[in-house]
Chains A and B, each alone.
Chain A
């Protein structure tokens, strides 16, 4: 069974740092683009970051460029999101999701984790 499990969320002060992790199992991790998507309270889904199968390429939404970084460790079958200089509007549930296509970023997200809550507040 395919599974994605996020961890690392919590309450942090503005300007603070968090590291989110997503552990994958049940599929060929090295063949998939992986993503982070967030949902702020009362808002819709917002794509945050994508990373290529071998980690050589990654993309970030403009609002987090320069503040967030996305990495992966294929040996650990995990991806990570490093959140620096956090702001109140980064408060959201952060989901990990995989692209359905083999080595294809132009494919839908067929499996998602349950998410981890990041709250930015003083």
Chain B
């Protein structure tokens, strides 16, 4: 199984700051179609998980452009600029390169 490891486990930032969350996979998530099979989700208490970024860097419709994803193969990053109070959440990466799908342990963002 592909192991997904996020860092840090938690992050305390201020409104207006920039947050960077890392996600590393135990094997490459890059396929011959030149896509990285990596997604980022936002988890808020009492709400369904929300897909923020797919294919490592494609922001979903309606997601603010302060959220951006980058990286390739085994190392990926979610960057949130100009942090807002409503960004308090847990952020989780997921590989969909193969089944079993696996998630990172989550990064708790606090403001």
Spell out B's residues near A (CB within 8 Å). 37, 39, 41, 43, 46-51, 54-55, 60, 92, 94, 96-106
Contact = CB atoms under 8 A, between A and B. Distances in A.
B37 A106 contact: yes
Nearest to A107: B96
Contact of A109 (B39, B43, B98): B39
Interface of A: 4, 35, 37, 39, 43-47, 50, 59, 61-62, 95, 97, 99-100, 105-115
Given A108-B94, A112-B49, A45 B103 contact: yes
Contacts of B48: 4, 95, 111-115
B106 A45 contact: yes
Contacts of B98: 106
B47 A46 contact: no
B51 A106 contact: no
A107 to B, nearest CB: 6
Contacts of A47: 99-103
Contacts of B103: 44-47
Contact of A44 (B39, B54, B99, B106): B106
A105 B100 CA distance: 11
Contacts of B39: 108-109
Nearest to A96: B48
Given A106-B37, A106-B96, A44 B104 contact: yes
Given A59-B100, A61-B100, A110-B60, A45 B92 contact: yes
Nearest to B55: A108
Given A44-B92, A45-B94, A108-B54, A59 B106 contact: no
Given A95-B49, A114-B48, A105 B99 contact: yes
13 contacts: A45-B94, A47-B101, A59-B100, A61-B100, A95-B48, A99-B96, A100-B54, A105-B96, A106-B37, A107-B54, A112-B49, A112-B50, A114-B47
